[in-house]
Amino acid sequence: MTLDRPHRRWNPLRQEWILVSPHRAARPWLGAAEKAPPPNRPKYDSGCYLCPGNTRANGMQNPNYTELFVFENDFAALLPPDQSALELPSAPFIKAEAADGICRVVCFSPRHDLTLTDLSATAIESVINCWTQQYSELSRRPDIAHTMIFENKGAIMGCSNPHPHGQIWATSYIPDIPLRSARAQADYVQAHGRDLLGDYLDWELRAAERIVCANSEWVAVVPFWAMWPFEVTLLPRRGARHSGELHPEQVAAWSELLQQLLIRYDNLFDCSFPYSMGLYQAPSDGQSWLGFRLHQVFFPPLLRSASVKKFIAGFELCAEPQRDLLPEQAAARLREVSAVGRKIS
């Protein structure tokens, strides 16, 4: 099989196929073009709900924070447990259950004009340590089975506020995608005696063609099964189920490689590169989840330029995921761009 023809690739974590159509990468585009975000934002915005000292929509006032700031989401998608029962019509095909949880917001910086990309490696390390503290606290709660840490960057990804921030949704259940991934990794270690992502990382390091950047502790790779054009997964060379199991030198190396990847993203199309980021860590439902390996994923929507994005529609919504640009080509393009960021004053 030659990779320049249509073919399918298996995602062992999501347990699904993806159709790869490399011959379509050069098709003409007359569709929608995204508007670029404003080039300059103020360091402080009096109308921003996340800036220090400002009043949020619910009337609460932010402290005059100087580093990180974490608070309960004012418009949480999940709420604390409610003892009242769900009332549903009775039918064999109807099923529902309570969905409880805790939603928090993590402001990465007091400065309104920065992004995670603009932070120093030391500041990014502080963000990672905050993620670790939040995961540790929430995963110890008996009413929490899973903690999802994520960031939506850019209006194109539905981000409602440009102030640099991420979110944490801790749920009373394990959501479908993390559950499939955790089960796949548990099944693999039971069958092979080794962890799935550890074996996969070794395979990628031997192949070398999808590696974007790496250091002594972490590797950034465009996955063989990537769906998004410039999708990247960050993997630790030494296995850990969650960030609390990492040694200090692993955390420092993570922050350095994360900074390098984010700068490469911005330099690819000379823009503040939008993405959705997710940090996958072991569930906290009481099971050991042997074989689980911590990993961080980035799903950027941009396809050809800062104004042309990939749409999930048609066949992808109704049948299975599909991509045009080969993952190998995407990795090569990310390797070629500079890892030197803009100067911040």
pLDDT of residue 32 exceeding 60: no
Residue 216 has pLDDT above 90, yes or no: yes
- Give the span between the Cα atoms of 326 and 223, in whole angstroms: 10
Q: Compute the mean pLDDT over every residue in the chain, rounded to the nearest whole number.
A: 93
Name the CATH superfamily housing domain 41-75+98-336: HIT-like (3.30.428.10)
Confidence band, pLDDT 50/70/90 cuts, at residue 196: very high
Alpha helices, H only, 49-175:
121-139
Number of H helices, E strands in the chain: 6, 14
Question: What confidence tens digit (pLDDT) does each residue in 81-105 have?
Answer: 886 667 777 788 988 888 999 999 9
pLDDT over threshold 80, residue 344: no
Q: Residue 124's pLDDT is what?
A: 98
pLDDT of residue 1: 58
% of the chain exceeding 70 in pLDDT: 94
Q: Which pLDDT tens digit goes with each residue over 257-300?
A: 999 999 999 999 999 999 999 999 999 999 999 999 999 999 99
Closest to 179 in 3D by CA, of 72, 274, 334, 292? 292
Check 165, 192, 247, 295 and give the catalytic one.
165
Could you tell me whether strands 16-20 and 322-323 are parallel, antiparallel, or unpaired per DSSP bridges?
parallel
**Burial of 341: CB neighbours in 10 Å, binned 0-12, 13-18, 19+:** middle
pLDDT at 273: 94
Sign of the dihedral defined by the CA atoms of residues 135, 141, 143, 145, in that order: positive
pLDDT, residue 84, reads: 62
Query: For this structure, is 192 an active site residue?
Result: no
The CA distance from 308 to 311, in Å, is 9
**133-147, 231-245, 306-320: segment of lowest average pLDDT:** 306-320
Answer for the pair 304, 323: CB distance below 8 angstroms, yes or no: no
Q: What is the pLDDT of residue 87?
A: 78
Nearest residue to 342 (alpha-carbon basis) of 259, 243, 233: 259
For residues 193-202, average pLDDT: 98
